[in-house]
Amino acid sequence: MTWTDTAADKVERLEKTIPAEWRLAAPPTDKNVIDYPKTAKILTDKELEITGSSAVELVAQITTGKLSAVEVTTAFSKRAAIAHQLTNCALELFPDVALERAKYLDDYYTKNGKALGPLHGLPISLKDQFRIKGIETSMGYVSWIGKVETGNSTLVDLLLNAGAVLHVKTSVPQSLMFGETINNIIGRTVNPRNKNMSCGGSSGGEGALVSLRGSLIGVGTDIGGSVRIPAAFNFLYGLRPSHGRLPYYGAANSMAGQETIHSVLGPLCHSMADLRLFMTSVLEQQPWLYDSKVIPMPWRQSEEDAVNKKIQNKSLTIGFYSFDGLVHAQPPIQRGIETAVSALKAAGHRVEPWKVYKPEVGLPLLEKIFGADGGADIYGDIEKSGEPALPNFSANVPKRPKMDLNDTWAMNLDKWQYQCQYLASIREFEAETGVELDAIIAPVAPHATVKHDQYKYVGFSGLVNLLDFTSVVVPVTFADQAVDVEISDFEPANELDAAVQADYDAEVYHGAPVAVQVIGRRLSEEKTMSIAAELGRLLGNTIVS
């Protein structure tokens, strides 16, 4: 059996999980399909209302008996099936398993008169790194197809303990190591607002699915921007927490055991309220009792209250940049930064330019860490099936000699030194200004989504991972060809900067989502999330229908 046969069999099995009555008669030819679920005549009016709600609203309705878990799960299972047919976003659809779970939760509620937990009856989608007993995890590798899990990732157990329903596992790029989503199993996942553009990666399946409301809370992972890039490209909120805040144990991964830069999990949502619901619900389950790397740190309401007081007193101090010293953001993103800065200033907060500390040191170090094994782990999984390495991946992680142990130790020390030097730059800023730096506003990527196979620069997102800072994506606006014109007298800082700017075409990017990230210090989730929520409120993006 060839690798193409194995992949084709997987696709056939995936398609069979979609009931005939949930299938599109003829997929639309329009580039923009974001509103198509409303007109596809598959969802009832009530199901459209359910899937158009927020997660917070739905949990409240389920736990007061106004809606059943089965009703809600049916609606989201149908909408997820539609989303997959529109964007190719799923690697696993399991509505039968989800509905069985929903029925159990309804029976529990009837018998006990109370909810099982804070997520009772809420469907949640997962990136196909999270293991669910009885369901495959292929993670974009053909050689992994057929691996049925015998146990759950820690996060899966905790979500189930909290009352969640799991209904979809979403697509990822081969290797996970680039900012788009394409693999040799199901092909490319596209952006529902423009199918000619990227949905981001590596949690791109989550970005497309949540954008189309096939889920309201999708869980991705982030080692170089893999939650934040899909959130930004799909006009969603997204959280990259610091390592040690949420449980990763039992999740599949490429380069498992690489611990110089940790991959972390985080949610993609339509609102900060839903993002907060996810965080508080998981932390309520005391994940540090199950994953030894999780810090025993419950949700710190005092931290949230303290920053909210600063918000009320109009006393935040925020740094910002759209050029990190290596690459300039394209015009829509520059306008997004300016819009966020103007909103904060108008609300009375202090906003100051921020100079990124030596990106010419940090970014090469990031690339060195990711290539430390010479690509052996990833190429090994690719070559087992005979599938080809996709150009997107091989360009980022070429085969090279492995680093020896002493070189690896030296690299770890370089990372530690850079992190401490970055903290020193923050202290210097605070000494000069006489105020505490609360957060930094920055691009997630240089572009508002990107043309397929054209993702060139991960520096804006990846540096956050090197520092292990907390970051929250906030949607701002949409690219507008009338105002986001090409810069005629642009002077690039280097060849990469020139190439990134040359990719911009105002007409092609028109309508693309524009987002920023709010960056806080390590383990500052409560504070950074509150600042992001305030920025979203000021921008009018508290929830996106």
Binding site annotation covers 77? Answer: no
User: Is residue 105 within a helix (H) or strand (E), and if so which, with residue range?
Assistant: helix 95-112
Binding site annotation covers 224? Answer: yes
Binding site annotation covers 151? Answer: no
Structure tokens at 440: 């930094």
Binding site annotation covers 225? Answer: yes
d(CA 170, CA 544): 21
Catalytic, 68? Answer no
Among 226, 263, 281, 530, the one annotated catalytic? 226
What CA dihedral angle connects 488, 493, 498 and 501, to 10 degrees? -60
Binding site annotation covers 223? Answer: yes
Residue 287: C-alpha distances to residues 59, 124, 225, 284, 483 (Å): 22, 18, 23, 8, 47
248, 210 Cβ separation under 8 angstroms: no
Among 53, 54, 171, 202, the one annotated catalytic? 202
Among 10, 78, 127, 169, the one annotated catalytic? 127
Q: What is the CA radius of gyration of the chain?
A: 22
529, 472 Cβ separation under 8 angstroms: yes
Catalytic, 524? Answer no
User: Is residue 99 within a helix (H) or strand (E), and if so which, with residue range?
Assistant: helix 95-112
CB neighbours of 431 closer than 8 A, spacing ≥ 6? none
d(CA 251, CA 426): 34
d(CA 395, CA 332): 27
By residue count, the chain amounts to 545
Closest CA to 444 of 282, 177, 241, 224: 224
128, 171 Cβ separation under 8 angstroms: yes
Residue 371: C-alpha distances to residues 40, 364, 398, 399, 411 (Å): 45, 11, 8, 8, 12
CB neighbours of 107 closer than 8 A, spacing ≥ 6? none
Binding site annotation covers 362? Answer: no
Catalytic, 127? Answer yes
Residues that constitute the known binding site for substrate: 176, 202, 223-226
Residues marked active site are found at: 127, 202, 226
Residues that constitute the known binding site: 176, 202, 223-226
